Amino acid sequence: MDAATIFGVIAGVFTSVRFFPQVYRSFTTKKTTDISLTFLYFVSAQSLFLMLYGITRPDNYVLYMNILPLASALYLVYLKLKYH
């Protein structure tokens, strides 16, 4: 594995887990007032389009590293709508 791939994998791991603290906090406190719904929509769209990019160009790293961010962002949208 070359250095560029290693950097990409590390960035992908950070991308995949970036919303976990917010998901945990929102789930435990049942408060989402400080989360922007527009932001979550943009993040969801970004992850979806990056996944489509990963499918159309055989780039499994891009595809797989955007599954968790999409799921996390959509779950936060659900919590935002539920607790609003």
CATH value at residue 54:
1.20.1280.290
pLDDT score recorded for residue 56: 93
Q: Exposed, middle or buried: residue 30 (CB in 10 Å: 0-12, 13-18, 19+)?
A: exposed
d(CA 37, CA 71): 15
pLDDT score recorded for residue 8: 84
What is the domain count for the chain?
1
Question: How do residues 11-64 score in pLDDT, each as one tens digit?
Answer: 888 988 999 999 999 999 999 999 999 999 999 999 999 999 989 988 788 888
Residues sharing a CB contact under 8 Å with residue 48, sequence separation 6 or more, in sequence order: 66, 70
d(CA 78, CA 46): 18
Instruction: Give the residue with greater pLDDT, 62 vs 80.
Output: 80
d(CA 80, CA 27): 10
Region of residue 30 (left: phi > 0; alpha: psi -120 to 50; beta: else): left
pTM value? 0.84
